[in-house]
Structure 1
Amino acid sequence: MIRESATTSVLLLATTPACRLLTGDGTLLDRLGDQLATLPVREVQVMTAAGGLAADLRGVAKIARTTAGAVAVLTADLVIHTEALAMLLEHPAHGTAALISHDASEGPLRPPVRVEGGAVVAAGSSFHLVPESNATFMGVLQTGEADLASLADVAEELAELADAGKLGPVTPVEAVDLLLVGLVRSGVRVRAASIGRLRADRVTGQNAADAALARLAEVDEARVRLDASVKEDDGFFATFFVSSWTRHLIRPSVRLKLSPNTVTGVSAGLALLAAVWFSAGSEAGRLAGAGLLYLSFALDCLDGQLARYTRTFSPLGAWADGMSDRLKEYAVYVGLAFGSAAPDIWYLAVAAMVLQVVRHAIDFTYAGAVTDAARVGAMWGRPARSLLESQDVRRAPGGVLKLARRLERDTVARYLKKIIVLPIGERMALIAVTAALWDARVTFVALLCWGGVAALYQLIGRIARSAR
């Protein structure tokens, strides 16, 4: 059945004997079919003809060239939580992504990958090696509509290499693994969707299938979905002083049918009220403003959590949220300046605002350049790598990036890095605390001093990454 409202089609590779393993109510293939029926996919096509690896790859290429919308490819030897499938198939962007686990324990059906900046930058198979791997691929690959031509080209090239025996003893169970290798090496950006505590196991025998099904029952999918709605890599203040309690508002918000954009609007309203109280200039006004600013930021966190939980985030919502953050912050600056009698307060307020604009420009221009590089491909981005190279060849990171990577492995160091860059949570906390305890002049001086250090840190980091 074709669902016209959905935009993702699923290609289920049922060309190996494992798809006929029993699960109690049917085979693994039947189980996956039932799971996919509960998700918003346009159609499910099952490839059952066991014609070998090359035939499977050519079948993928044919579908990629004739299908509109995103295409997800997965194997029918997969025992997986429905919520894990939903992380890809219900994602509103319908872009190119791979399901990965940050458990880097490699195996015959768990090929290694390396994840950097939320994307798969190197992928492996029994033929392709990945030095410094830090995750494993779980066998589910989605290709966005814009990358379908690349998927088709990669599948056809891999089929020819497999026919010629140039990929070594690869087998049909590696079809999806090879497709991921090909997309990554062709320069396509593949988002890394982590399963977290969910399970996804590819199996080859009945005992393994039974054990994998038992492991599924050990995980509370509803709890994992709630936990996943809270950003793992958020700032220190947001993680420990906001998200620790706003997570309990997610389900009530869903029951009240509040949309993320509605929560964003309420957050903006509270920030404007905070600016009004700050403009009064009194001690009571600064205390009230600080409290309202904290609540505004809490709702700012909640709108993102709600969007991730309901999977209703969109480019428009992200843009509105970002614009709201800037307007709220600058409105608070104006309120603080109006409420202060210091003669140089407006100079400090304008300087703090200009510094924040520069910092955002550093971030967004760099992100835009990276996006352009990925889009333009060989002209800007890294050149495509041959599928005949058995080992992923990448230049080693420089000293600054090596240090940054080591620091990421340590929890304390990672949070210190986040604090140094003065993210929005730390800025809101800095404003609220200094305004409540002292005055606007202290607030702006603190923003300028800490913000200046953060800007220098960001600039050095962007230059180091660009040089790499």
Structure 2
Amino acid sequence: MPDSFTTRESTTTSVVLLATTPAARLSCGDGTLLDRITGQLAMLPVNEVQVVTPDGGLGADLRGVAKIARISAGAVAVLPADLVAHAEALALLLEHPAHDTGALIFPNAITGPMRPPVRVEGGKIVAAGSSFHVVPEANATFRGLLQAGESDLGTLADIAEELAELADAGKLGPVTPVEAVDLLLVGLVRSGVPVRAASIGLLHADRVAGQHAADTAVAALADVDEARVRLDTAVKQNDGFFATFCVSTWSRYLIKPAVKLKLTPNTVTGVSVALALLAAVWFSAGTQGGRLLGALLFYLSFVLDCLDGQLARYTRTFSPLGAWADGMADRFKEYAVYIGLAVGSTDPGIWRLAVAATILQIVRHYIDFSYAGAVADAARVGASWCRPARSLLESTDARREITLLSLGQALGRRVVGHWIKKIIVLPIGERTALIAVTAAFWNARVTFLSLLCWGGVAALYQLAGRMMRSAR
């Protein structure tokens, strides 16, 4: 039966802790594995932790989850008490401000006891398995922690009740009570719910079944520096070429000083804007020295633009408002620099070039964001009105097929092709470098012509890509 033992009012995630296996009572230090994980949860921002104790097998455990999901407000996380994990691994889901639907995974397809296979594509889990459900082309394993966002709680409850009926009827074959959370993940994925794949990376998260395995797993935790991993994961992993190799290699060392100074991401964004405005002022001077100093200030402004995101990820204080403000600041800074360059130039046609570069950049952003918005809307409509047909009694996901798009994504992971695709679209980092270098060593005319030529190619590439993806 569920038993609530801790409450925090400031957050929106509740935890269902499945203490339904004998391993939950294994000794660990001065207590048990159950004591250990409840201690970790007490240090994380969750509303409450409800412990489900053994009370009739797998079907009863799943019904307990369904009951809690139906009455909860906010996200609900489900995890077994026999999970031995770094607190930082649990925080990847429980401390994430989005409180979305996700699951802890490790990007390795080598399965084992209580490490069911999953397949991850585009940061989402598209297939999940159990001892009954097979995953073709698995490329990762599920590590025990599942979270359902508030909008998916009804689906979670329906799935848990359906699975309980199937388990009681013996229709899930070799499935055992230890697989309750694995089955819930299978159900969510097969119901079409987008499940974010939260990779633990160098961290550990393993379920254990015996005392020796528990002792080994706990001892392995000490081999990883959690603080270092948190710092590394604060740096965006899928950034542009210039940002990755010319900024993030050293901006990461500014994160901890920023934390000590109690700087917020929005404060860093504000300083970044101020530096860009100073760059525009120096560009407007029209001298070689002014352009050199402007280029340096504009580069430093971009460094802080990267730092605000890194600080947000490190402190887990990012929000939709902050993301919107950051995006608006990027546009404001860039267009302010355009004006500064145009003011400082004596070329009679420079304002036409500046306006053309501005319009091209606006069109490129419209292509990007309108397409992303359309995809998000389509996903929401599809999830609400047209969930894909699925059956929890099918051992293999019948909806899987290899498409040209999947093949293209696989080829795109090749190192050279990956970076070429990153560079060709002229992201904010490459635009910063292009503006700074051309302004510092040539003049505003070269800057705007470079932006128009490269930006035009990028716009055609993006437009062609959107059309091909839509057709597929």
CA distance in 1, matches of 2:401, 2:368: 24
Candidates 441, 446, 463, aligned match of 2:450: 446
Alpha-carbon spacing, 1:248–1:99, altered in 2? closer, same or farther (3 Å): same
Partner of 2:397: helix, strand, or coil?
coil
Amino acid at match of 2:168: D
Identity of aligned residues (%): 75
Please give the alpha-carbon distance, in whole angstroms, between the structure 1 residues aligned to 2:424 and 2:135. 32
Q: TM-score, normalised by structure 1?
A: 0.96
Kindly indicate whether residue 445 of structure 2 is the aligned counterpart of residue 437 of structure 1. Answer: no
Q: Which residue of 2 aligns with 1:464?
A: 468
Residue 431 of structure 1, CA deviation: 0.8
Equivalent residue for 1:422? 426
Q: Deviations over 1:297-328 (max 9, x none)?
A: 00000001111111111111111001101111
Structure-2 change in CA distance of 1:228 and 1:161 (3 Å): same
Whether the 8 Å CA contact 2:193–2:383 is kept in 1: the answer is no
Equivalent pairs counted in the alignment come to 467
Cα deviation digits, residues 360-398 of structure 1 (max 9, x gap): 122212221222122222577662422223222345454
Contact 1:373/1:381 (CA < 8 Å) preserved in 2? no
The answer to whether the 8 A contact 1:263-1:303 is kept is yes
Post-superposition CA distance 1:316-364 (Å, at most 9, x none)? 1111001101111111112112222223322222222222222212221
Amino acid at match of 2:272: S
1:159 corresponding residue in structure 2? 164
Of the structure 1 ranges 257-266 and 355-364, higher mean CA displacement relative to structure 2 is found in: 355-364
105, 120, 127: which one pairs with 1:122?
127
Equivalent residue number for residue 188 of structure 1: 193
Using the alignment, how far apart are the partners of 2:410 and 2:459 within structure 1?
20
Name which of structure 1's ranges 237-246 and 354-363 shifts more when overlaid on structure 2. 354-363
Query: Could you tell me the TM-score, scaled by structure 2's length?
Result: 0.95
Q: How does 1:345-384 map to 2 (within 5 A)?
A: 345-377=350-382, 383-384=388-389
Please tell me the root mean square deviation across aligned C-alpha atoms, in Å: 1.7
Structure 1 partner of 2:267: 262
Question: What do the CA deviations read for 1:157-206 (whole angstroms, capped 9, x no partner)?
Answer: 11122222332211111111111111122122212211111100111111
Cα-to-partner distance string for 1:19-66 (whole Å, 9 max, x where unaligned):
112222211111101111111111111111242111111111000001
Equivalences for 1:114-153 in 2 at 5 Å?
A: 114-153=119-158
Q: What is the SS of the residue equivalent to 1:9?
A: strand
1:12 aligned counterpart, secondary structure: strand
Q: Quickly say closer, same or farther: Cα 1:191–1:438, change in 2 above 3 A.
A: same
Which amino acid letter does the alignment assign opposite residue 216 of structure 1? Answer: L
Aligned to 1:3: 8
What is the match of residue 3 of structure 2?
none
**CA deviation string 1:197-253 (max 9, x = no partner):** 110011111111111112111000011111111111111111111111111111111
Q: Distance in 1 between matches of 2:27 and 2:265?
A: 42
Match of 1:62 in 2: 67
- From 310, 314, 338, the equivalent of 2:315 is 310
What CA distance in whole angstroms lies between the structure 1 residues aligned with 2:75 and 2:459?
A: 39
Segment drifting more, 335-344 vs 62-71: 335-344
**C-alpha distance in 2 between matches for 1:455 and 1:278:** 27
Distance 1:91 1:293 in 2: 31
Instruction: Give distance in 1, aligned partners of 2:181 and 2:445.
Output: 59
The worse-fitting range, judged by mean Cα deviation, of 311-320 and 127-136 is 127-136
C-alpha contact 1:64 1:71 (8 A) present in aligned 2: yes
Distance 1:127 1:153 in 2: 20
Classify 1:360/1:382 alpha carbon distance in 2 versus 1 (closer, same or farther; 3 Å).
farther
Structure 2 segments unaligned to the other structure (5+ residues): 1-5
- Counterparts of 1:8-407 in structure 2 under 5 Å? 8-377=13-382, 383-394=388-399, 396=401, 398-399=403-404, 401-407=406-412
SS in 2 for 1:57: helix
SS at match of 2:31: coil
Partners of 1:398 and 1:464 within 8 A in 2: no
Q: Deviations over 1:242-295 (max 9, x none)?
A: 111111111111111111000000001111111111122211111111000000
SS in 2 for 1:93: coil
With 457-466 and 414-423 compared, the bigger mean Cα shift is at 457-466
Within 1, Cα distance between the matches of 2:407 and 2:352? 40
Q: Residue type of the partner of 1:465?
A: R
